[in-house]
Structure formats: C-alpha cells, structure tokens
C-alpha cells in the first residue's frame, strides 16, 4: 500500500475500491488496517476507501508521536493535506474515537470539503471522569492481553512510552480547559450520523448527546449493548447503517441499496 509525502511528514494509507472517496480515521495509537478490518473491504465495494495511519502511528513513522495541546487540530490538518494531495476536493469521513474528533475538526475547518460525517466514540470536550478513566489504564499491564498483543505487534517496546505520552497529552488538554471542539460544533454544515454504544466505558452518553445538539444536521443512533468498538462487535449492522446514511443521508435503516451517491 502507498505512502505519500506531505509538508511535514510521509503518511501511509490503505486504499481499496473505486468511486466516491471515503476517509476512515482510526482511534488513538490505531492504524487504518488495525481499526477498520471489517470496514475497508466492505465499503471498498461501493467507494474509494482511504484509511491512513496518522502521524507517528503505525507505518507513518517517523516522526515519533508527540501530543502538544493542538495535536487534534494538527491531525485534522494532516488529513486535509492528505485528501488534497490525493486530489479529492470533497469526501465523506467515518471517524472512531480520536478519529471522530479529528473528523469534526476537519469539517469545521473546511466545511465545503466534507459531504457526510459518521462519528462514534468521540468527545467534543474532556471531563475529569474521562481523564480518570484513562489514567486508570495508564499502565499497559492493566490492558487485556489481546489489546496488548495487537499494539505490541505494531509498536514493540516503544508502546509504553507512546501510551504514556498520550495520557500526559490528555492531562495537559484537561488542564487547559478540556475543550476539543465543542465551541466549533456549530461550524459543521454537513449531514452527520452519530453512533454510540450505550455501555461505552470510555465515552459516556453525554458526549454523543452534546455533539448531536451542536451539529444542526445530525442524527443519533445508539446500540443498547454496545461498548467502545461497535464497528467491530456489531460490524454487519454497523456497516449497513453507515452505508444507508452515506447513500441517503436521511435514512439509517439497514435495508440499504447497492449504489452510493454522496449528494
């Protein structure tokens, strides 16, 4: 799969399919391939999927990843630069967790470029409760063996320092006021679908509700038993709902057609 030279970095991305461009944005420390195993080939049947590794993650290294106060905005600018370099003037975005945060910042900064947004697991601001939840898993020894195995495969011994820097970055963000993009939600103009697992241990329901209130053209759909990774646990249902929204915008039923049009 290809790499592309951007102004500050060289970015790796997965690419699959043809048609309307669809950008898939992974969560913290994640890569396009690891986070969207169930989405890349599925959506590649109807559109051109671009699933990058953000700067400092996966195969977009070097540089070594750091987390200044503006790291979410920096990622958004990286992704806008990627899509511009690939020749895509307009596109849809699906973003998970940190990827959801990056997606909203992209849509707020360049609303004419983003035609549809699908978000899950994101938060427009950081609360003390979430910071405490992340601090509780600061030690990688507290992770599940499966989660550790996947991340060790990508980062090896560098994982511990990378995760420590991420937690420190969140602490500094919280200390600065905790706003990620809550104050910019009104700038998002495109139709937006917000998905949420009601049993998400990292992102409580107040966050998708706040994003839904802040984005005028938004819908909220919940998975009653879902946790943080609804696109993995409920991949078939998730994909059908997302596809229906991408195709029709005002309909999130699972009975989607087989053609995709981004109006």
**Residue 91: CATH number of its domain:** 3.40.50.1820
Question: Phi and psi (nearest 5°) for 138?
Answer: -60, -40
151 is a domain residue: no
| 208: in domain | yes
Decide if 44 contacts 17 (C-beta within 8 A).
Answer: yes
Q: CA-CA distances (angstroms) from residue 4 to 1, 8, 47, 78, 195?
A: 10, 11, 20, 11, 31
pLDDT tens for each residue of 79-94: 999 999 999 999 999 9
Q: What is the pLDDT of residues 209-232, one digit of tens each?
A: 999 999 999 999 999 999 999 999
DSSP state of 39: T
The 10s digit of each residue's pLDDT in 38-78 is 999 999 999 999 999 999 999 999 999 999 999 999 999 99
Note the pLDDT tens digit of each residue in 161-202: 999 999 999 999 999 999 999 999 999 999 999 999 999 999
Helix (H) or strand (E) holding 222: strand 218-223
Q: How far, in Å, CA of 200 to CA of 223, rounded?
A: 10
Q: Total domain count for the chain?
A: 1
In this prediction, residue 106 carries a pLDDT of: 98
In this prediction the pTM is 0.94
Residue 173 in any domain: the answer is no
155 within a domain of the structure (yes/no): no
Asked whether residue 136 is assigned to any structural domain, the reply reads: no
Cα separation, 53 vs 14, in Å, equals 8
Report if residue 157 sits inside a domain.
Answer: no
Band the pLDDT of 1: cuts 50, 70, 90. low
Domain of residue 80: give its range.
3-126+180-248
E strands of 63-150, at which residues? 91-96, 114-120
The mean pLDDT value for 118-142 works out to 96
Active site residues: 97, 200, 228
What percent of the chain stands above pLDDT 70? 94
Give the pLDDT confidence score for residue 133 in this predicted structure: 93
Angle at 219 between CA 225 and CA 256, to 5 degrees: 80
Segment 10-29 shows an average pLDDT of 97
Residue 257 lies in a domain: no
Q: Is residue 132 part of a domain?
A: no
* Whether residue 261 has pLDDT greater than 50: no
Mean per-residue pLDDT, 7-28: 97
* The 10-16 sheet, strands edge to edge: 3-5, 10-16, 48-52, 21-25, 91-96, 114-120, 192-197, 218-223
> Mean pLDDT, the chain, as a whole number?
94
């Amino acid at each position: 799969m290809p790499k592309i030279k951007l102004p500050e970095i060289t970015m790796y991305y997965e690419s699959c399919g043809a048609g309307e461009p669809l950008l898939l944005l992974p969560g913290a420390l994640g890569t396009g391939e690891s986070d969207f195993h169930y989405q890349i080939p599925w959506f590649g049947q109807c559109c051109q999927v671009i699933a990058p590794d953000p700067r400092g993650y996966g195969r977009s290294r070097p540089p070594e990843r750091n987390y200044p106060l503006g790291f979410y905005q920096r990622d958004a600018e990286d992704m806008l630069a990627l899509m511009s370099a690939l020749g895509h003037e307009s596109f849809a975005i699906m973003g998970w967790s940190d990827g959801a945060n990056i997606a909203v910042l992209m849509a707020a900064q360049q609303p004419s470029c983003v035609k549809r947004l699908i978000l899950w697991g994101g938060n427009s601001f950081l609360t003390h409760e979430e910071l405490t939840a992340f601090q509780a898993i600061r030690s990688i020894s507290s992770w599940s063996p499966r989660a550790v195995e996947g991340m060790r495969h990508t980062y090896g011994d560098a994982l511990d320092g990378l995760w420590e820097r991420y937690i420190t970055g969140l602490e500094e963000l919280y200390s600065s006021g905790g706003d990620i993009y809550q104050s910019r939600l009104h700038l998002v103009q495109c139709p937006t679908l917000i998905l949420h697992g009601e049993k998400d241990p990292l992102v409580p329901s107040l966050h998708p509700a706040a994003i839904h209130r802040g984005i005028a053209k938004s819908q909220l759909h919940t998975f009653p038993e879902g946790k943080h990774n609804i696109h993995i646990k409920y991949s078939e249902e998730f994909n059908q709902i997302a596809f229906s929204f991408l195709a029709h915008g005002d309909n999130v039923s699972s009975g989607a057609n087989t053609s995709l049009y981004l109006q």
